[in-house]
Structure 1
């Protein structure tokens, strides 16, 4: 899954759950983004994300 596809999925989920969602493009190092969903925050790398990485990101944001 590409990073942009994951961000679209997270944005839709945030809308559905009525939570705040923000993407900080200037806070990560290099090409990494910081993502905040509700009161949780994590880092998302660029490019293709493995299934394990996507699951880890979702777990860190409290989705799984």
Structure 2
């Protein structure tokens, strides 16, 4: 999507930084503390959004 100019660099990096996918499945499988898992996911989401906005407004392209 990034290479076809459908999404920008900020959205691409936000998605990569959130680390959605298999990593979260492993987290829930190995760590049974749901409160801690939600804190980790919230932190990942917050950091992904923050850096995605910074990259988008800074005009960084890859």
Q: TM-score normalised to the size of structure 1?
A: 0.31
More helix by share: 2
| TM-score, structure 2 normalization | 0.32
Higher-Rg member (1/2): 2
Greater RCO, 1 or 2 (C-alpha within 8 Å, sep 6+): 2
